[in-house]
Amino acid sequence: MEEKREARPTFGLDVFGLDDRMRLFGYVTADNRLAYLWLLRAFDAARANYHVLLHTSDVGVALAGLHGTHEECPDPADLELPRLLDALVEWGVLDRSQDGTRATTLAEYRNRHSVYQFTEAGFRAHRAVESVLSATMDDTTLSRLVFADLLADLAALASANAEGDAEEVYRKLNRLDRALADIAERAARFYHMLGDLSRTNDSRPETFLAHKDALLAHLRDFHDELQRYTPRLREAVHAVEDTGLERMIEAAAEADERIFRTPSERVADWRRRWEGLRSWLAPPGTDQISEADRLADATISAVGDVLALLRRVTEARRGGVSRESQLRHLATWFTAVGSQDAAHALFDATFGLGGPRHVSVTHSDPEAIPTRQSWWEAPAVELSRTLVEAGRAPGQGNGRPARLERSSESRARLRQAQLAEERRSAEAAAGLVDLALGERPLDEAQTTVLLRLLDIALAARVSGREGAALAAAAYGIRFTLTPAAGRFTAVPAAGGTLYLDGFTLSIDTADHTVARERELVGI
């Protein structure tokens, strides 16, 4: 006979303790939940003034004060305070004790002379509900300034671990853990806010249109900072591990002041935190995608979603009112019509599907034909062959294109400007071959050529061939990116530094483009 397995506690609580904690939120779904909420707000306000124990009459006075300043607060005269207080005691939110010095009957002892206060779990439950109610879902931002702090803390962590300073290691690791948790929480709230915005844009288009530029600029700046710091943060994580990973984890666990955790539990906890930090910034495998890269992809997707939302809002408001408003008014008209014939007439007038399209064509000068004339006597209206045969009005996909005006002088001027630009690019490319990358910053022309070659190489890569070299040739030079795990190439360029993570860069002369280069520079 198998032994009966013991019920394992859930998050440190047994089944009965978990049920008691869940019952703390029973007032949130009760029928009179607003009255319960304001009653607990009265207890919270009294607690803020250092009044912990409240008599039933004190609760009524505190609730009356809230009713005088907040219109939505119910009047305590309309509430059965003893019944509401007893329900909160039953749910475990309040604790009740008795003040029987003036009690003459059992009813007075239970109701009129009871004093109430928050239980510790009940106070936490009330604060949790208040935090949800007071949360501003629209006021969420991505923190782009935290990446510089992360880089500085990683450098300080490596130095402290190398010097054996356990307390500094603990402080820096704890700060890094809180910073990454803040980034993840901010990102989750921000992208949820974008989702809510996309679902409610028809009711609040003005808010979106007023802040769209700031929203796009915020996403662009965050993505730029993330791309700029990601390779540097990855290198900093590797530098920290080079100073001794196990020694760092043991030092942090030793300085940890959680006395109710065993040393082995503290070591396991800090190892788990560091593994999470490493997976966020620098995963161990070369084929694994870091959480920072996923966040960058989510930011790019968010930019696309915002632009699509902008296009949808703009198209909906092009006629002065939104499409949703038009359909709602039309549905109201259909509901308010008095008969079925009127509904058919409204349908024909709205959608124009009551008769053939060529019948509804009007004369070019309607005033020249008297309305009293019948169709037999009035002159015929000229119809387009496409309208009669295909049902399309003239110009809907079958009209002749307008004549294209050609200017020989403009074409020659544009051609000269194009050749001059090509010569400048060829000269800049020739300078890239003679220049050792990283020796000095590239000028603007050389930076433009380098970015153009990088774009060609990335566009020409073969799908499914991971780890293959990327190459591009133009302007007489050959640009080659060779995969190198764990390394990156830094190229000082005009306006900043270009980081090529996981690749080494080489530039040499391409034989098959030399003739073209000489033709452009006039050799």
∠ Cα 242 248 254 (to 5°): 170
Measured CA to CA, the distance from residue 396 to residue 417 in angstroms comes to 38
SS3 label, residue 484 = strand
Of 305, 279, 301, the closest CA to residue 292 belongs to 279
Find how far residue 256's CA is from the centre of its chain: 35
∠ Cα 186 199 314 (to 5°): 110
**pLDDT (average), residues 125-154:** 77
Of 211, 177, 179, 180, the closest CA to residue 193 belongs to 211
Residue ranges and CATH numbers for the domains of the chain are 13-134 (1.10.10.10), 137-309 (1.20.58), 435-509 (no CATH)
Per the confidence metrics, is the pTM higher than 0.75? no
The β-bridge partners of 10 are 13
DSSP string for 238-280: HHHHHTTHHHHHHHHHHH---TTS-HHHHHHHHHHHHHHHHHH
What DSSP character marks residue 495? T
Output the pLDDT for position 522: 45
Output the pLDDT for position 515: 47
Output the pLDDT for position 398: 46
Tokens of 156: 């300080």
Query: What is the number of helices (H) and of strands (E) in the chain?
Result: 18, 6
Tokens of 59: 């609760």
Among 7-21, 379-393, 448-462, which range has the highest average pLDDT?
A: 448-462
CB-based contact 280:291 (threshold 8 Å) = yes
How far lies 143's CA from each of 149, 185, 276, 433, in Å?
A: 11, 10, 19, 40
Answer whether residue 363 shows pLDDT above 80: no
Measured CA to CA, the distance from residue 444 to residue 455 in angstroms comes to 16
Contacts with 326 (C-beta within 8 Å, 6 or more apart), sequence order = 319
Answer whether residue 38 shows pLDDT above 70: yes
Band the pLDDT of 523: cuts 50, 70, 90: very low
Q: How does pLDDT run across 42-97, given as a tens digit for each residue?
A: 898 888 887 888 888 888 888 888 888 888 888 888 888 888 888 898 888 898 88
Tokens of 470: 């990327």
Q: How does pLDDT run across 269-317, given as a tens digit for each residue?
A: 889 988 888 888 877 765 667 777 777 777 777 777 777 777 766 666 5
CB-based contact 174:186 (threshold 8 Å) = no
SS3 label, residue 390 = helix
Output the pLDDT for position 4: 42
Q: How does pLDDT run across 375-420, given as a tens digit for each residue?
A: 777 777 777 777 666 666 665 554 454 555 667 788 888 888 888 8
Q: How do beta strands 496-509 and 477-493 pair? A: antiparallel
